[in-house]
Amino acid sequence: MRHGILFLFLLLSPGLARAFQPTQVDKKVDSLLSLMTLEEKVGQMNQYNGFWEVTGPAPKDGDAAKKYNHLRKGLVGSMLNVTGTENVRAVQKIAVEETRLGIPLLIGYDVIHGFKTLSPVPLAEAASWDLEAIRKSAEVAALEASAAGINWTFAPMVDISRDARWGRVMEGAGEDPYLGSQIAFARVKGFQGSDLTLPHTILATAKHFAGYGFSESGRDYNTVDVGTTTLYNDILPPFQAALEADVKTFMNSFNILNGIPATGNSFLQREILKGKWDFDGLMVSDWGSIGEMVAHGFAADGKHAAQLALNAGSDMDMESALYVEHLVALVKEGKVKESDVNDAVRRILKLKFVLGLFEDPYRYCDPTREAEITGSKAIREAVLDMAQKSIVLLKNENSLLPLPKSGKKIALIGKLATDKDSPLGSWRAMVAPNSAVSVLEGLQALGTHSIKVAQGPVIFEGSANFATEVKVNVTDKSGMEEAILAAKGAEVVVMVLGEHGFQSGEARSRTDLGLPGLQQELLEKVYAVNPNIVLVLMNGRPLTLEWADKHIPAIVEAWQLGSESGTAIARVLYGDYNPSGRLPMTFPRNVGQLPLYYNYKPTGRPNDPGQNLVFWSHYMDSPNSPLYPFGYGLSYTTFTYSNLQISQPTLQKGGSIEVQVVLKNTGKRTGKETVQLYIQDPVASISRPVRELKSFQQVELKSGESKTVTITLTEKDLGFFSPEGAWVVEPGLFKVFVGGDSGASMKVEFQYE
Ligand code: NOJ
């Protein structure tokens, strides 16, 4: 075994990575670059999936053997899906000790909502509107993942989406660019912390650049065609926010955007990201997305795809193996500039310095730390806190909730009530299967009721995982009668219904957003014998719930809450935690309304009651309005808003204006309200949304307590991007709406001059 010469060179050179100023890092990067052959440079731009039992013998079979060979020759710059200190140390050792230059690897992984201990799925976390809790959740995910060898997460996904058919909405922050931007910022800060040389912080990735959430018909990987006003005003802001938080890497996306695959899109990657925005970090492709440009009909073959991707600004090739195969020839043929290769490699090497990997390539590989941190009490407490804050109370007629902790005959119905797996959701990293606290376990641990469990019919046949389809039972009704019987004999029925943990996520688009399988029938049959139902929903996306909303007295949106799911749900059902979540995405009445979102543009034919009965923008068979609007959520207490005021009638250029409202807790319990402020620019050079969220504050008040809430607006809250991408703030009237959801009706106005 020999040490790479570069590793020795770095060890002997004065100053270690932690002490480097950026210019010193740049100098180090450049001196390293000058030692590298073109092949070695291209190797740094190559990222492979974990391809062999790293702790076992080297593989003999074709592809894996080739990859292993590449690793030993210094032709791999990063690996993904290698986890655990032992495995990471093994691949790092090959890179450091067996290659000529000994350059350590970036170790990437999808740490989306935790590593071995899971927080709620990201959409659920977004429902908390609690930026500090969200930051903390990313921080503990980074803590646990970094202890297992990971130094780079492919998160946060900051794609805005307005279409609940798209399964990946579970992985984002919902439909709103403002909320999405705040959350993107918080998540990047959580993962990266303030010092990336510390072993518990990891590189974050803003993905997927760009437009992936706008896939036509909500079908994953499908075409995206959006105008530039949507691109600049709705899609890009969360990416800019991630950049403001100093995100170190971006990932491009699978989709075409207006005809050009994002991966080969120079406008997105070179002109906007690396040009206008001056991003000096790393752009990684999505999995195989360089190769997929052939299927898109954009590249003739793999070599052409590599050429297009590099020229467009993709720095690292995830799993297409096309850079490593073709870039050297492409440089020699003059189709790709060596200066562009150098630029990409600089970006990659810089991050390795920033992480301190040259100082100690095994800094994330301490098995003692791994054992101490994994599943620690502090991590479990943080994910429980996040889980209870993510729950949204959708309906609570006659204050059916909260339930007392004892003395009731409860029927607990539905397969998901005892399920310990589905609450983990999709993108579950290294969590053990069946390891979530179930609703039954949560209710039993925190209360002393007599609980009769009746699972009802099978919902999902067999077992599904990340790589297999979920099969839904629609024929076998056994279990239905037992559930009905249990409901008959109960005082309160708690029904836990919803989606399988792998029914949302990547490649999990759906055309029907009702309760899957026989669950709607079960709900209606149980209701017929006992309407005193608390419906707990477990799902990774908005569902269509019109029937339930009309009939069921209490509805709790509990999403997929991760490892502490059942405890969080029980805490809310029993009133130990007063629900404070608000929807980060509109819940439609039916799939036909999609895409549906609160910040739509006015049409030339809005509703004008009594004037135009037919020729206005509407459906013949459904209202335009959602079932539950963006920002909506109830509490066990009630709040009133009064005395909305504005500090002055005019906001001068460069100045600010204050909006004040008095919030009062008019109910019997302490509770948290999310005061939301929306703005409308009624006349502008381009048609502007009917309203846009511009600020929110979470305020906790005791029963009877009031507080004056003050929100400051500046001209930055009034502007927008023109179709050419220029930021403009136009003088004129602005309307301000304040309230508890996007339907807020209290209004004040001011002029901007
Ligand atoms: C494909 C997904 O689109 C991306 O988000 C993920 O990071 C990569 N696979 C790696 O797993």
User: Does 370 sit in the ligand 1 pocket, CB within 6 Å?
Assistant: no
Weakest mean pLDDT among 62-76, 287-301, 421-435? 62-76
Per-residue pLDDT at 9 exceeds 60 = no
pLDDT at 55 over 70: no
Closest CA to 187 of 110, 112, 262: 112
Half-sphere exposure of residue 383: CA atoms within 13 angstroms, side-chain side: 32
Q: Is 67 in the pocket of ligand 1 (CB under 6 A)?
A: no
The answer to whether residues 493 and 533 touch, using CB atoms and an 8 Å cutoff, is yes
Over 50: is that where the pLDDT of 287 sits?
A: yes
pLDDT band at 60 (very low <50, low <70, confident <90, very high): confident
207 C-beta closer than 6 A to ligand 1: yes
Ligand 1 probe mutation, 215, 286, 292, 508, most atoms within 8 A of CB: 286
Residue 17's pLDDT is: 38
- Average pLDDT over every residue of 25-41: 97
Choose the CATH number for 2-370 among 3.30.365.10, 3.40.30.10, 3.40.470.10, 3.20.20.300. 3.20.20.300
Domain limits, the chain: 2-370, 388-593, 639-752
Single-letter amino acid code for the residue at 372? E
For 415, residues 6+ apart whose C-beta sits below 8 A from its C-beta are 455, 456, 457, 458, 459, 460
> Active-site residue among 110, 159, 234, 286?
286
Q: To test the ligand 1 pocket, which listed residue (47, 110, 430) has its Cβ within 8 A of the most ligand atoms?
A: 110
Angle formed at CA 736 by CA 643 and CA 172, multiple of 5 degrees: 115
- Chain position carrying tokens 């908390």: 128
Spatial separation of the C-alpha atoms in residues 247 and 239, rounded to whole Å: 9
The pTM assigned to this predicted structure is 0.96
pLDDT at 593: 98
Of residues 314 and 53, more confidently modeled? 314
Tell whether ligand 1 has an atom less than 6 A from the beta carbon of residue 171: no
Give pLDDT tens digits for 655-710. 999 999 999 999 999 999 999 999 999 999 999 999 999 999 999 999 999 999 99
Q: Are 157 and 111 in contact (CB under 8 A)?
A: no
Q: Look over the chain and give the mean of its residue pLDDT values, rounded to a whole number.
A: 95
Q: What pLDDT sits at residue 740?
A: 98
What is the enclosing helix (H) or strand (E) of 153? strand 152-153
Predicted confidence band of residue 633 (pLDDT cuts 50, 70, 90): very high
Q: What confidence tier does 427 reach under pLDDT thresholds 50, 70, 90?
A: very high
Structure-block tokens of residue 657 = 């204006």
CATH domain 388-593 topology: Rossmann fold (3.40.50)
Whether ligand 1 lies within 6 angstroms of the CB of 286 is answered as: yes
- Cα of 60 from ligand 1 centre, angstroms: 27
Band of residue 57 on the pLDDT scale cut at 50, 70, 90: low
Percent of the chain exceeding pLDDT 90 equals 93
pLDDT band for position 54 (50/70/90)?
low
Per DSSP, 466 falls in state T
Q: Domain spanning 639-752: which CATH class is it, in words?
A: mainly beta
Whether the predicted pLDDT of 372 surpasses 70: yes
Ligand 1 proximity of 292 Cβ (cutoff 6 Å): no
Is 286 catalytic? The answer is yes
Query: What does DSSP say about strands 671-680 and 732-739: parallel, antiparallel, or unpaired?
Result: antiparallel
pLDDT confidence tier of residue 376, bands split at 50, 70 and 90:
very high
Q: What is the pLDDT of residues 478-537, one digit of tens each?
A: 999 999 999 999 999 999 999 999 999 999 999 999 999 999 999 999 999 999 999 999
Can 388-593 and 639-752 be said to share one CATH topology? Answer: no
Residue 257: per-residue pLDDT: 98
Nearest CA to ligand 1 atom 9: 287
